[in-house]
Amino acid sequence: MDILNDEYYMNLALELARKAQGQTGINPVVGCVIVREGRIVGVGTHLKRGTGHAEVHALRMAGEEAEGATAYVTLEPCSHYGKTPPCCERLIEAKVRRVVVAAQDPNPLVAGRGIARLREEGIDVTVGLLGEQSTLMNEKFNKYITTKLPFVTLKTASTLDGKIASRTGDSRWVTGAAAREQVHTLRHQHEGIMVGIGTVLADDPQLTTRASVDAIDPVRIIVDSRLRLPLEARVVTDRSARTVVLAAESADPDKRRALEAAGVEVVICGSGGQVDLPEAMKKLGEMEIGSILLEGGGKLNGAMLEAGLIDKIVLYYAAKIIGGQEAPGTFTFEGFERMADAVRLERVSVEMAGEDICVTGYPANRKQ
């Protein structure tokens, strides 16, 4: 076993998988590289749910040269029949000699069975090479497949003093072009984008990705307890993307019918006067929306944070100070009584996005 060569080929497989982020729906992103006698004879990546997996594309390219070769796969080959046949059987039929797997599949239908099946047939299997990279790349899939709840990434942009708009409500633009372009890529990498009705009423956003990103538009999710969403709002009139509105049971039934007639999906969450956010996450998961980018205002951000429903936080800070006691902030909720109870971020990273600062971290006390 040549560790240096193994890492080289696995890095290629990881890069193939990375290119498909945002295309596979609730499926994982997976890359595969097949090598025989020091030559790459096949490469593949999973491109879309319901289509061939990475191993299938790579084996098809390799043809007869797959026999006796080594397959580098970023995620354990599946062992069950789903929308496509099991990949471990395809590798066995192709008579590969060795399989190097970055990470075990957390899917209960697989969870080590693919690896065991390959070993049953005498194939040499190595597991764990660059596994952290594969696991991080599939963090959305890993949560959804084990909990059936969407992975929620909160993204917000603010000034250094934590304001997402001025005291008059002006928010164009808090951050620069580089940060805004990154946000459109983030949208592409999530299946849904969620905002509160306040954001829609204030800005009338389209909530799609820019044409320059050449991306699939996510489902637009509006938290609107009382169904105040105007029928002329762009998220209603623009049919280029699907729109789902989360409402309370007490919402006006006539408005609900009008929105549904306009093509909007209305989902009732909770029996009170406010949307029950944990129930909303469960229902969105049942709708097979496996990942959500939360771009809410302070109130929705605060409610989601307080409920422990946020998995990842991406904070963009502009090098600006705007002040204003009435200016809206990033998080608006009652807050915790003690500093010890504050939401602590772990695995924190900091990088520049043009002239803006991007801080990324994971709430240590989030719910699963």
> Measured between alpha carbons, how far is 331 from 205 in angstroms, rounded to an integer?
20
> Measured between alpha carbons, how far is 314 from 297 in angstroms, rounded to an integer?
14
Q: DSSP letter at 231? A: T
The CA–CA distances, whole Å, from 95 to 44, 55, 70, 74 equal 18, 13, 10, 19
Across the chain, where does the E strand assignment appear?
31-36, 39-45, 70-75, 98-103, 124-127, 151-159, 192-196, 219-223, 243-247, 265-268, 291-294, 312-318, 345-353, 356-363
Coil/strand/helix, residue 317: strand
> Measured between alpha carbons, how far is 205 from 195 in angstroms, rounded to an integer?
10
Catalytic sites, residue numbers: 55
Of 39, 40, 42, 43, nearest to 30 by C-alpha is: 43
Of 185, 181, 217, 222, nearest to 200 by C-alpha is: 222
> Measured between alpha carbons, how far is 297 from 201 in angstroms, rounded to an integer?
12
Other beta carbons less than 10 A from residue 173's beta carbon: 11
> Measured between alpha carbons, how far is 278 from 264 in angstroms, rounded to an integer?
22
Cβ-based neighbours of 17, under 8 Å, separated by 6 or more: 29, 30, 31, 45, 46, 54, 74, 75, 134, 137
The CA–CA distances, whole Å, from 343 to 39, 175, 195 equal 49, 25, 21
